[in-house]
Amino acid sequence: MKTTWAAGLMGMVLSVPFALLLAAPQAVLAQAAPVATAPPAWHKAEGLALTPPMGWNSWNKFQCDVSEQLIRETADAMVATGMKDAGYQYINIDDCWHGERDARGFIQVDAKRFPNGMKALADYIHSKGLKIGIYSDAGWKTCGGRPGSRGYEFQDAQTYAEWGIDYLKYDWCNTEGLNAEGAYQTMSAALRKAGRPIVFSLCEWGNQKPWLWGQKVGHLWRTTGDITACFDCVVNHGDWKAWGVVQILDMQEGLRQYAGPGHWNDPDMLEVGNGLTANQDRAHFSLWAMLAAPLIAGNDLRKMPESVKAVLTQREVIAINQDALGVQGLRHAAKDGIETWVKPLAGGDWAVMLFNRNKQPRAVTLDWAQLKLTDELSKRSLDAVATRYQLRDLWAGKDLGASGAAIQRELPAQDVFMLRLKAPH
């Protein structure tokens, strides 16, 4: 047997050109024994966030005023209000949960705010059929001045995995001297090494164009600075600015090609229920649905009025956001403050929305003869005259018959008219 094996090996080697043996012996090995290429060590966990994440985050309403009691009560409210049944999963604790690091460098919770520890809180949230998210920062300190993860990435990821964390929002304060892509790769590698599937949210604010490199690193990336509870304004904080809904909306132009299942553009969290008008809440939620944006509520779920709950749990609008095709919508036309948005959906359906960004009502016309397009991203064409789609008014919850004749409406200020076009089968 030894003689036969040796002769076979010699025959294999002699079959390779002599020049190739001298010039590139590694090529011979590659030919003899091809090896599958493993993903990079910093590659995100696969199979997560196949539709935009849905959940709640503490920052927009409570900022640093977080506690174990608040998070438990919010989890209870997410179930009781029907938000869980509508698709919301994540209860995300933002900044200021941190205590200090122990002698070995492992992060601790603030024992006064979280007396039973993060593992017990995660267990409670999981018992509700929900998932828990946490926050850290790529710099030495978080934006709220708590310990950041710089230099402790692998320890922190291991800690999060042991606690049962499902989602990490990773911020970009106090990062002097760091390269964003490299810093996020480091934490991505740490999460992968920890062994628990964790959704990785890159909160770099869009400064280093994370849509160009974030797809393999994380599951979503912020495209802008922070949102504020204003529909159309800019709040200047000196060395940084917070943006209103329409300002952030305009910053999404040109980014839709980078989004898809498992990798989403993130125009920041929802301000629904935080002081906007009813029209603005509805428009804000609808726009984020059309953008295939994460739907992360930021209001007080324990005390929200029925009108706010009705927006956040509007299942037909949520279905546009959560559509399995995973294509971000596009602004097809804009004139005099009236915008036409379209979004291709699975199964041949479309979402079409008119948005009035003016501060006064406007008479609008949805003329199907004028709304003909081919979306280069999805390779889908829309012609609602040649194809008779069944029309569903999503916010009114009414069927409007088949497409063909133009639709005229009085569209209230800063509001939307949103349709699902159901393809004939």
pLDDT tens-digit profile of 85-138? 999 999 999 999 999 999 999 999 999 999 999 999 999 999 999 999 999 999
Please, which residues bridge with residue 380 across strands?
375
**pLDDT, tens only, 182-199:** 999 999 999 999 999 999
Please give the distance of CA 121 from its chain centroid, rounded to a whole number.
24
C-alpha–C-alpha distance, residues 222 and 264, integer Å: 9
User: 353 φ, ψ to 5°?
Assistant: -140, 135
Please, which residues bridge with residue 416 across strands?
355
DSSP state of 106: -
pLDDT at 23 over 80: no
CA atoms within 13 A of residue 273's CA, in its CB half-sphere: 23
Single out the residue of 127, 130, 152, 131 nearest to residue 142, CA to CA: 152
Please give the distance of CA 298 from its chain centroid, rounded to a whole number.
14
pLDDT at 8 over 70: no
pLDDT at 222 over 60: yes
Type of residue numbered 236: N
DSSP state of 90: E
The set of residues, in sequence order, having a beta carbon less than 8 Å from that of 87 and lying 6+ positions away, is: 54, 315, 318, 322
**pLDDT, tens only, 249-293:** 999 999 999 999 999 999 999 999 999 999 999 999 999 999 999
Please, which residues bridge with residue 236 across strands?
241
C-alpha–C-alpha distance, residues 132 and 75, integer Å: 9
Identify the H or E element spanning 316.
helix 315-321
Type of residue numbered 78: M
Task: Report the mean per-residue pLDDT for the chain.
Answer: 92
Crossing angle of helices 153-163 and 117-127, in 10° steps, is 50
Label residue 36 by pLDDT band (50, 70, 90).
Answer: low
**pLDDT, tens only, 367-423:** 999 999 999 999 999 999 999 999 999 999 999 999 999 999 999 999 999 999 999
The set of residues, in sequence order, having a beta carbon less than 8 Å from that of 209 and lying 6+ positions away, is: none
C-alpha–C-alpha distance, residues 242 and 110, integer Å: 28
Label residue 425 by pLDDT band (50, 70, 90).
Answer: confident
Please, which residues bridge with residue 265 across strands?
221
pTM of the model: 0.91
* Tokens 């290429």 belong to residue: 37
Single out the residue of 284, 372, 355, 294 nearest to residue 326, CA to CA: 294
| Confidence (pLDDT) at 27 | 41
67 C-beta neighbours (distance < 10 Å), count: 18
Tell me whether strands 220-222 and 295-297 are parallel, antiparallel or unpaired: unpaired
Please, which residues bridge with residue 136 across strands?
170
Single out the residue of 383, 416, 422 nearest to residue 401, CA to CA: 422
C-alpha–C-alpha distance, residues 15 and 405, integer Å: 73
| Confidence (pLDDT) at 40 | 82
Single out the residue of 391, 261, 251 nearest to residue 322, CA to CA: 261
| Confidence (pLDDT) at 35 | 53
User: Annotated catalytic, 171?
Assistant: yes
User: Annotated catalytic, 415?
Assistant: no
| Confidence (pLDDT) at 25 | 41
Q: Which spans in 262-407 are helix H?
A: 278-290, 306-312, 315-321
Catalytic residue among 156, 166, 226, 268: 226
| Confidence (pLDDT) at 37 | 66
Single out the residue of 333, 319, 334 nearest to residue 422, CA to CA: 319
| Confidence (pLDDT) at 41 | 86
Catalytic residue among 171, 268, 300, 415: 171
| Confidence (pLDDT) at 11 | 38
**pLDDT, tens only, 303-357:** 999 999 999 999 999 999 999 999 999 999 999 999 999 999 999 999 999 999 9
pLDDT at 38 over 80: no
> How far from each other are the two terminal CA atoms of the chain, in whole angstroms?
65
Span 244-248, mean pLDDT? 98
C-alpha–C-alpha distance, residues 309 and 375, integer Å: 34
pLDDT at 75 over 50: yes
| Confidence (pLDDT) at 1 | 39
